[in-house]
Amino acid sequence: MTPLTSLPPGGCGRLLSLGGERSFRRRLMELGLLPGTEFRLVRLVHVGGMVEVEVRGCHISLRMSEAEQIEVEAIAP
């Protein structure tokens, strides 16, 4: 049970499951962040409460509070 926000910046992960309301999950999936997808955590900005990930060549940022509902497993880059 690893939330996305616990990955180290620069680290890679594989998405296991998405939490949150339906339209949030749907939009993330449509942007290519599906269960099973590999991604890279680009940065975590604690002050602003934001996280940025790169998935399928796109950079997407989320609030940390919402990214905590995304479960991942760390993988080797």
Partner 1 sequence: MSNLNEGSILIALAGNPNTGKTSLFNRLTNTHQRVGNYPGITVDRHSGNFELPKAGEVEVLDIPGNYSLSARSAEEQIAIGALSGLPPYPAPDVVVLVVDASQLARNLYLALQVIELEQPAVVALNMVDMLDDEGREVSPHALEQALGVPVIAINAREGDGLEDLKAALDRVLAQPEKGTPGARWAHEDPLLQADLLAVHRALPESWKDGRAHREEALAAWALLSLGDDDELQRVPDDLRAAVAHRRRLAAGSGRDIDEQLISARYEWIDKHVAAATRHPNRSSAWSERADALLLHPVVGFAALIFIMGFLFQTLFSWSGPLIEWIDSGFGSVSAWIVTVMPEGTLRSFLTEGLIAGTGSVLVFFPQIMLLFALLGLMEDSGYMSRVAFLMDRIMRAVGLHGRAFIPMLSGYACAIPAVMATRTMERRRDRLLTMMVVPLMSCAARLPVYTLIIGALFPTGGDTGWIDVQGLLLVGMYLFSTIIALVAAGVLSRTLIKGPNVPLILELPPYRLPQARVVGRMVFQKGRVFVTEAGTVILACTVGLWLLSDYPGLSDAHAQPLDARLAALEQAELDPATRAVATTEIQRERGALQREHSWAGKLGHTIEPAIAPLGFDWKIGVGLIGSLAAREVFVATMAVVYGAGEGEGATLSKLRKKMREEKRSDGAPVYTPLVGLSLLVFFALACQCLSTVAVVKRETGTWRWPFFMLGYMTVLAWVASFAVYQGGMALGFH
Chain residues that interact with partner 1, rule: CB under 8 A: 20-32, 34-37, 40, 42-43, 45-50, 52, 54, 56-63, 66
Q: What's the closest the beta carbon of residue 76 comes to partner 1, in angstroms?
A: 16
For 67, the token pair is 């990214």
Alpha carbon distance 36, 73 (integer Å): 10
Residue 20 or 74: the one with the smaller Cβ distance to partner 1 is 20
For 44, the token pair is 């975590």
Paired with 74 in beta bridges are 13
Residue 42 or 74: the one with the smaller Cβ distance to partner 1 is 42
